[in-house]
Each structure stands twice: as C-alpha cells, then as structure tokens.
Amino acid sequence: MPAPVSREAASRLSVVIVTYNSRAAVAAALPALCAQFGPGDELVVVDNASIDGTVEAVREIAPAATVVRSERNVGFAAGANAGARAATGDLLVFLNPDATPAPGFVEAIRAPRGAWSAWMGLVTAENGRVVNTSGGVVHFTGIAWAGHAAARGPCEVAFLSGACLAVPRQEWERAGGFGEAFFMYQEDVDLSLRLRLAGGRLGVEPAAVVDHDYEFAKGPAKWRRLERNRWATILRCYPGTLLALCAPALLATELALLGVAAAGGWLPQKLAAAGQTLRALPRLLRERRAVQATRTVSAAEFAAWLTPDLDSPFLGRAGRSKLVRWGLRSYWRLVLRALGAA
C-alpha cells in the first residue's frame, strides 16, 4: 500500500484548471482561489481553444499563472494531463473552472487528515445550499454517480470527483494520469479505481469546500461518452474474476439500457457507444493488461467499494424499485461470497 501523504510532502500546491469557453466561470472563481495561495503555490490553466476571451480573462486576473494553450479541444482528460506536465508543485489539485473555493479551501486541501493516496474536497452547489458531491458511488455494473450526503468528517469514498481532486505528484505519475481516450466523463472514476487496484485509499476532506455551478445536461454526446467510458472503466479496471462473475448482470444491464435509451430518445447514442467500444477493444485489452499488472489488492477487496444499490437520482423508478433492489442485492451477495472463496 502506498505510504501516507505527509504535510511536508504536499507543501507546494499546483492547481490545474482545464477551460473551454469558460470566461465567465474563471472570472467568478479565480479571485477567490488566487487570494488563498501561499509561497510556492501556482495556478496552471490549460485552455482548449476557447474563443470567448477565457485566456485574456485568466491573464488579467492571475498574471502569474502558467497558461497552456491547445490548438483544439482535446477534452478534460488530455488537458488535465498537459496541465500536470506543466506544473511544478508536489501536490496536484484539479479544479473545474466553475468551482469557486470557499475561504480556507487551499489550506484544507493541502493537508488532509486521512492517510490517502488521493482525495477530494466537499463540492457544494447553489451557493453552498446543497451538496453536489461528497464522494462518488460506483455500482457493480460500472454506473457511477455523485454521492450527495453531507460528510461530517474526513472519510473514505468509492471514487473522487474530477471537479475537485487532489493527488500527490508521485501517485499521479505512478498511476499514469487520466486516460486521454476518455475525453471527458468517467475519467475520474477510472483513475480512482486504478489507484485502489494499486492499494491506494481515497478520501474526502469536507473542510475543503468548493461551490460548483453544476447542471446535469443530458445532451446526446454526453450519453454516448458516459456509456462508452463506463465500459472502458470496467474493461480496464475490474479484476478478471470479478468481471466474469458480473458478466450476466452486465449483459442484463445492456438489454435494459437499450430499452431505457429507446424510451429516452438516445438509442442512437447508446448504439454508437457500443460500436466505439468494440472498435477500441484491442486497445482496451492492451491497457487492461498494463492496469492489472499494478494490482496489489484481491478482487474481493476491490469489490468491497462497489454497491448493488441504484440510488442515483438520475435513474428514475428502476432505481427505486424494491424488486430490483432485492434482486441486485441478492446477486451481489453471491458475487461477494464467490470472491471470498476464490
């Protein structure tokens, strides 16, 4: 298991923000962030070919910031990786451009009280009135969503939100950063599961608060990327025994999602995601071998952080069905029993 992160090891902060036509967002968030920086802290902004004056706004508000300009929109994952390469600090903090830090954020995110390989802050919304995420939830079918419970203190979570994610440079480099083929969505789930496979612990530090101007916009491209990246995460990260035991449930989920997609009007995107996954299968299998080579935990230990309950507010009646919940829990108990006996 990786060694606990000390305050000294995480003394110099590099905040990496990936922007894309984010002028209004950075104008609102950067003053609150930059006012909290200490000696040696830095801001790195990676701009994905914005045309709304984002770069000019960054240079006006934070003239000391390092700005990395991309000639095209390479997505969040590749942009974050580019920002990490340009950063010089010991602790990397990835922050959404529309996430405004509360007072005390920088000091709290710098030195969490848990012995974690990576961690996140508490992400609120609506000016702090609600919790946007206090750590993510991962269903055993790979469906992942934000947990909305208010964290009373530092605690472990299933996955870390890329909206506010802190990782020591040594852990980031050991993991290899975000998977750039994800473009956006689920890359934080994938990174979190890879860190856990390698024996890492993941936590939330609720004293480090950012307020996220968040809206779950269900555009067609988002559904396609969510489904494509869900499968990429499963194929890359799930240990072989777990993958085999989950196969019947994964097949049933695919059949159910086809009906959900048809009813919701995004069936073409669901089919496109399946096609992209199949075409990418040779690459995904190569990546799987590399990821699984880093595994130091058992399949049972890995599976302990997955849930059988579909409590996401975006899953509708299916997630609230008592019959579905009973069936999923029963299936998962059998899987965990088989993994324990393996």
CB 15 within 8 A of CB 178: no
Whether 219 has a pLDDT exceeding 80, the answer reads no
pLDDT digits (tens, 9 = 90+) for 172-203: 999 999 999 999 999 999 999 999 999 999 99
CB 53 within 8 A of CB 128: no
Angle, vertex CA 145, rays to CA 112 and CA 222, nearest 5: 120
- Tokens representing residue 253 in the block: 């989920």
Instruction: Select from 325, 323, 331, 235 the least CA-distant residue to 287.
Output: 235
Which pLDDT band holds residue 243 (cuts at 50, 70, 90)? very high
Whether 235 has a pLDDT exceeding 50, the answer reads yes
Angle, vertex CA 264, rays to CA 259 and CA 266, nearest 5: 90
- Tokens representing residue 211 in the block: 């307020």
- Predicted local confidence at residue 315, as pLDDT: 62
Stretch 332-338: mean pLDDT: 96
Whether 300 has a pLDDT exceeding 70, the answer reads yes
Whether 264 has a pLDDT exceeding 90, the answer reads no
Stretch 299-326: mean pLDDT: 83
Stretch 83-93: mean pLDDT: 97
d(CA 122, CA 161): 10
Which pLDDT band holds residue 1 (cuts at 50, 70, 90)? very low
The mean of the pLDDT values for the chain is 91
User: Facing residues of 204 across strands?
Assistant: 120, 155
- Predicted local confidence at residue 113, as pLDDT: 63
pTM of the model: 0.93
3-state class (DSSP) for residue 288: helix
Stretch 69-83: mean pLDDT: 97
47, 158, 258, 266 from 15: Cα distances, Å:
14, 23, 40, 36
CB 213 within 8 A of CB 125: yes
Torsion angles phi and psi, residue 189, rounded to 5: -65, -45
d(CA 298, CA 289): 16
d(CA 140, CA 305): 9
CB 280 within 8 A of CB 181: yes
Handedness of CA 255, 259, 260, 265 (dihedral sign): positive
- Predicted local confidence at residue 317, as pLDDT: 67
Whether 323 has a pLDDT exceeding 90, the answer reads no
Stretch 126-150: mean pLDDT: 89
Instruction: Select from 1, 53, 65, 66 the least CA-distant residue to 27.
Output: 53
61, 100, 125, 182, 266 from 273: Cα distances, Å:
40, 33, 30, 12, 11
As a three-state string, the secondary structure of 101-130 is ECCCHHHHHHCCCCCCCEEEEEEEECCCCE
Which pLDDT band holds residue 4 (cuts at 50, 70, 90)? very low
239, 327, 334 from 308: Cα distances, Å:
17, 9, 11
Which pLDDT band holds residue 5 (cuts at 50, 70, 90)? very low
CB 42 within 8 A of CB 89: yes
268, 270, 274, 280, 332 from 258: Cα distances, Å:
10, 7, 11, 20, 23
Enumerate the domain spans of the chain: 13-212, 220-341
Lowest mean pLDDT among 90-94, 134-138, 269-273, 309-313: 309-313
Assign domain 13-212 to its CATH superfamily.
Spore Coat Polysaccharide Biosynthesis Protein SpsA; Chain A (3.90.550.10)
pLDDT digits (tens, 9 = 90+) for 147-158: 877 777 889 999
- Predicted local confidence at residue 214, as pLDDT: 72
3-state class (DSSP) for residue 229: helix
Stretch 229-236: mean pLDDT: 98
Which pLDDT band holds residue 59 (cuts at 50, 70, 90)? very high
Query: Tokens 């029963």, residue?
Result: 330
Whether 9 has a pLDDT exceeding 60, the answer reads no
3-state class (DSSP) for residue 11: coil
d(CA 137, CA 144): 6
d(CA 80, CA 74): 10
Q: How many residues does the chain have?
A: 342
- Predicted local confidence at residue 149, as pLDDT: 75
More confident residue, 113 or 276: 276
**CB-count burial class (<10 Å; 0-12, 13-18, 19+) for 54:** buried
